[in-house]
Structure 1
Amino acid sequence: MSLVSQLWSISPQIAAVGSCCLVGVICNGTLYIANLGDSRAVLGRLVKATGEVLAMQLSTEHNASIESIRQELYSMHPDDSNIVVLKHNVWRVKGIIQISRCIGDVYLKKAEFNREPLYAKFRVPQPFKRPILSSEPSILVHQLQPQDQFIIFASDGLWEHFSNQEAVDIVQNNPRAGIARRMVKTALKAAAKKREMRYSDLNKIDRGVRRHFHDDITVIVVFLDSNLMSRASTVKFPGISVRGGGVSIPHNTLAPFTTTTDNGGT
């Protein structure tokens, strides 16, 4: 909001820029998940009796297509019967956006930015007194267990094509190296099939046009060390360590180990 205020006079369209955000932190054997929007974190958990790895969703999604989210919006805006509108068979907040919580999209949080020179296609025609969207994340705390194998962090572009269990099966049944890239490619192949086109042809479409064929997809897979998990309840680690992408963060550094964002264009 501070950035939008600073740039409003020279770049007002920034008021309509927003993103989902999904963050995970592990500290002393405890996993913390914070989510805004409709990205999703899914845990793969081993069932020792059968050898199966089952999916366990760890995040709460904020999408108007979910009945409980619509009821939440109605309760927060009792004086606005149009807070959620069914448009082209899709539930949208004010008929504009599917998610109810996000970072950014300041024009739907502060009425002073819901005006010219912001483009008319973004503006809400009716004035509002309270924020339409929220930036308060849903937070889940999970005590990691030795049977917890990995966590998939992904934007809704992946979950449009896979159920939680299907995504877990892909990770479980393929080599670790390059698994996130493999999941993206598999999702793109599914998107191409839905469009009755070849994956190679879909890949040739310019980035600016691709949005009409599939949503953007971000995937991160974090594998868990079962030995560390089994010791987590008795050993106090000094903090958090992160290793990946050629980057190492010191053990005494407290930091999120993974973040995914989805702003509809990257």
Structure 2
Amino acid sequence: MGSCLTAESRSPLPGSPLSPHLANMKRRNSKKRLGSRNSSFEYWKDEPLHRIPGRVFLNGSTDVASLFTQQGKKGTNQDAMIVWENFGSRTDTVFCGVFDGHGPYGHLVAKRVRDHLPLKLSAYLDVNISSKDALGLNAAGSMNCEDMDLLSVDEESRASEDLKETGKHPEIFETLKESFLKAFKAMDRELRTHRSIDCFCSGTTAVTLVKRGPYLVIGNVGDSRAVLGTRNKHNSLTAVQLTVDLKPNLPAEAERIRKCKGRVFALADEPEVTRVWLPNNDSPGLAMARAFGDFCLKDFGLISVPEVSYRHLSEKDEFVVLATDGIWDVLSNQEVVDIIASAPARSSAARALVEVAVRAWRYKYSTSKVDDCAVVCLFLDSNLNNLSIASNGKTKVEGDDDNDNVKENRDVLTPLIQSGVVEEVVVEGNEEINSDGGMDWSALEGVSRVNTLVNLPRFVPEMEDEKGLLQ
């Protein structure tokens, strides 16, 4: 639900005072900063990121992915997302990520990580591949002391694999794993020394993936999640969770935090949410065990080391959904997979999922504020026939020739309707869409029967507004 609990963590005002204890810690922490340091990534500083071909970070869709984020009711949208095709200048590689910021400057941290983590990952990947090609050695053989220090915490990254894989991991996994570890460490180090973003009580999650050919490697910190939609032996679409929600209620995470003198417990009025607290102060109450930023807790067990996992994709694997906890707090893995599969078009899949999640928030947590939501759906096959084309301002209603498809989609939605997650709606003919390209769902409230399904238009990427609400 909430990432940070204390007023210090949630205040949106730049000049909000910290408690005396946190203020003293912050002053001590600032003395550790080294200022601007020479970095191999300095040449990216003025790079016009929005002009890089294949890089999409706003609401929209590409030939292989659908993206959508929507601001909740808690203030500025702190979620961010990205899809980067031809990643690392390779046509068979794509990078995806979603980031859930928290704290007073969480939106700035999430955007910074969205923009710069892929650059660091690409650079480290190039270096690792080049060194192996040139020397014929494992890249660890040419690491400096700082890199070796990073790998000393490698045991915190529990590499998992497809259960069907019984042999050794392919070399590309070891290379990508090493690159993920280095890039995440470099990203957190940059945030610590950043002059214009205060990351002391602000941070972000990150669930990221690199798909290279049939190989999928995921790097994850925090409680955003990746789920795979795949076919089982009965050809039924099934959800497979690819990441672990790295929360402080996990025994291994709690043990690490306590060994570092941090405290782990839930409050009496929300026993289901375990949080991380400072040793001698009831703050900040962070609801995750790993995150970028949040340097007030980095000496007390919070880490930014990613859990790196691997899967060898097969023809039964159809898509991967990356989403922030605004989705997973109200929908199960299987419900998410069913909603994506039943979307009228691939280009509208992410938006359809967010629409359902928002309605589920209002149904399940009527007294709580709806959380920000961000979704990236990466389709794994090359079939582009399901991608819809932008209409002329009307939604396209399925005709008689598509009755079988409509029935199949309705069958998929039936269990969601029965559980109360999706409300039944009736659409009489063509419905007007609102100005941002979505259905006016409020006009459909209270109707009791599904007569037909409609296609949402393909989304045209929007320009980020001045307030930073669209990401």
The question of a shared fold, defined as TM-score above 0.5 by the shorter chain, is answered with yes
Tell me the residue number matched to 1:63.
247
1:72 matches 2:253:
yes
1:149 matches 2:334:
no
Structure 2 gaps of 5+ residues are: 1-188, 384-457, 462-470
Distance 1:18 1:223, change over 3 A: same
> Any conservation in 2 of the 1:146–1:226 contact (CA below 8 Å)?
no
Q: Work out the CA distance in 2 between the residues paired with 1:224 and 1:245.
A: 20
Q: Work out the CA distance in 2 between the residues paired with 1:246 and 1:177.
A: 10
Shift of 1:214: 1.9
> Any conservation in 2 of the 1:74–1:83 contact (CA below 8 Å)?
no
Q: Work out the CA distance in 1 between the residues paired with 2:310 and 2:459.
A: 26
Structure 1 gaps of 5+ residues are: 110-129, 198-211, 228-243, 248-265
Cα deviation digits, residues 188-225 of structure 1 (max 9, x gap) = 0111123449xxxxxxxxxxxxxx51221111111111
> Any conservation in 2 of the 1:149–1:226 contact (CA below 8 Å)?
no
Q: Work out the CA distance in 2 between the residues paired with 1:195 and 1:183.
A: 18
Q: Secondary structure at 2:373's aligned position in 1?
A: coil
The structure with the largest alpha-carbon Rg is 2
Q: Which amino acid letter does the alignment assign opposite residue 350 of structure 2? A: A
> Any conservation in 2 of the 1:147–1:226 contact (CA below 8 Å)?
no
> Any conservation in 2 of the 1:148–1:226 contact (CA below 8 Å)?
no
Q: Which amino acid letter does the alignment assign opposite residue 221 of structure 2? A: L
Q: Work out the CA distance in 1 between the residues paired with 2:253 and 2:191.
A: 29
> Any conservation in 1 of the 2:227–2:242 contact (CA below 8 Å)?
yes
Tell me the residue number matched to 1:86.
266
Q: Work out the CA distance in 1 between the residues paired with 2:213 and 2:362.
A: 43
Tell me the residue number matched to 1:106.
295
Distance 1:55 1:172, change over 3 A: same
Distance 1:153 1:6, change over 3 A: closer
Q: Work out the CA distance in 2 between the residues paired with 1:19 and 1:148.
A: 29
Tell me the residue number matched to 1:172.
341
TM-score, normalised to structure 1's length?
0.64
Distance 1:32 1:12, change over 3 A: closer
Distance 1:134 1:223, change over 3 A: same
Alignment of 1:100-249 (within 5 A): 100-109=289-298, 130-175=299-344, 176-196=346-366, 213-225=369-381
Q: Secondary structure at 1:133's aligned position in 2?
A: coil
Aligned residues with identical type, % of pairs: 32
Larger deviation: 71-80 or 31-40?
71-80
**Of the candidates 205, 209, 212, which is equivalent to residue 24 of structure 1?**
209
> Any conservation in 2 of the 1:4–1:12 contact (CA below 8 Å)?
no
How many pairs does the alignment contain? 191
Q: Which amino acid letter does the alignment assign opposite residue 20 of structure 1? A: T
TM-score, normalised to structure 2's length?
0.37
Name whichever structure is richer in helix by fraction: 2
Determine which structure has greater relative contact order: mean sequence separation of CA pairs < 8 Å that are 6+ residues apart, divided by chain length. 1
Q: Work out the CA distance in 1 between the residues paired with 2:365 and 2:244.
A: 29
Tell me the residue number matched to 2:227.
42
Q: Secondary structure at 1:44's aligned position in 2?
A: strand
